[in-house]
């Protein structure tokens, strides 16, 4: 409000009534009495700070020197027949020190000659073999040969040199498949549904296929250098496809000596 009305305003001459704000009544909890009772209920007198009144010691009973030390027995009871006190009450008299020529008995006695036993064991002992090492650096650094992987430990296995189970199973499957195929071929031959080409017929078919390949290759070599039209491209692709098929047929006939032909 002071900022809204400047100091030289005429409205400042009008007396204003002071507005007094009334405070609300103080809040009082309904659990106030029960909290006070519960707080005083668990308290115990003199629990942490001690009794409220302690008797003060008298100034005449002050601590004197050597009053806290343990008192010994009477001196006359400690003296022996010589009139001198003992060195230690709990110490018993020990035996005298043996002479240098005496051999006192200490521990378990035995008649075994350890010198002779050690000599015999050294003579009969098997010399220890040096541990095999290998050197792989120019500085001569040595490493154990046993853990290097250079020792053929695999030859000491129980199944070394034997055919693995999966290979034996695979060979058995191949043998059964071959037997089934042979039985099928014999049955078809017996029924006359197929026949076997002889060696002369096979060579004749092979030479005919090679002759056809030579003709296609000669035609392929006679194509123009520039193939820029769709018909030329199609003709070239057709020649390449026929030549590839003839090459596969030649390879199949050369690899298989026995060829069967089905009778229509």
Q: Contact 250/206 with Cβ under 8 angstroms? A: yes
Could you tell me the residue range of the domain that residue 251 belongs to? 165-262
Domain count of the chain?
A: 1
Residue 20 lies in a domain: no
Specify the higher pLDDT residue, 144 or 109.
Answer: 144
User: What is the per-residue pLDDT across 88-130, written as a single tens digit (0 to 9) for each?
Assistant: 555 678 888 888 888 767 777 788 889 999 999 999 998 888 8
- What is the DSSP track for 157-195? STTTTSPPHHHHHHHHHHHHHHHHHHHHHHHHHHHTSEE
Domain annotation covers residue 174: yes
pLDDT of residue 87: 57
For 29, residues 6+ apart whose C-beta sits below 8 A from its C-beta are 35
Q: Is residue 87 in a domain? A: no
- Domain membership flag for residue 232: yes
213 in any annotated domain: yes
**CB 104 within 8 Å of CB 98:** yes
Q: Kindly tell me if the per-residue pLDDT of 234 is higher than 90.
A: yes
- For the CA atoms of 70, 75, 80, 84, what is the dihedral angle to 10 degrees? 100
Q: Above pLDDT 90, what percent of the chain? A: 28
CB 196 within 8 A of CB 262: no
How do residues 23-54 score in pLDDT, each as one tens digit? Answer: 889 999 999 999 888 888 877 766 666 666 77
Closest C-alpha among 183, 189, 205, 194 to residue 263: 194
The CA-atom distances, in angstroms, between 251 and each of 96, 220, 247, 261 are 113, 21, 6, 17
């Amino acid at each position: 409000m002071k900022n809204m009305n400047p100091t030289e305003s005429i409205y400042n001459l009008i007396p204003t009534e002071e507005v007094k704000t009334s405070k609300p009544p103080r809040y009082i909890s309904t659990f106030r009495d029960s909290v006070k009772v519960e707080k005083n209920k668990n308290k115990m007198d003199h629990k942490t700070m001690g009794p409220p009144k302690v008797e003060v010691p008298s100034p005449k009973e002050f601590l004197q020197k050597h009053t806290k030390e343990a008192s010994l027995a009477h001196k006359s009871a400690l003296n022996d027949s010589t009139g001198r006190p003992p060195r230690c009450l709990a110490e018993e008299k020990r035996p005298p020190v043996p002479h240098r020529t005496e051999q006192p008995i200490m521990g378990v006695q035995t008649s075994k000659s350890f010198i002779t036993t050690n000599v015999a064991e050294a003579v009969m002992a098997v010399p220890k073999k040096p541990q095999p090492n290998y050197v792989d650096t120019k500085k001569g650094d040595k490493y154990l040969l046993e853990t290097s992987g250079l020792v053929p430990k695999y030859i000491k296995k129980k199944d070394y040199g034997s055919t693995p189970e999966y290979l034996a199973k695979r060979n058995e499957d191949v043998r059964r498949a071959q037997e089934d195929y042979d039985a099928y071929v014999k049955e078809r031959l017996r029924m006359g549904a197929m026949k076997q080409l002889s060696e002369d017929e096979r060579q004749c078919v092979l030479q005919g296929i090679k002759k056809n390949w030579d003709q296609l290759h000669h035609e392929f070599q006679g194509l123009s250098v520039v193939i820029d039209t769709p018909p030329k491209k199609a003709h070239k692709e057709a020649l390449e496809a026929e030549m590839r098929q003839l090459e596969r047929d030649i390879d199949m006939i050369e690899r298989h000596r026995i060829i069967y032909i089905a009778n229509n």
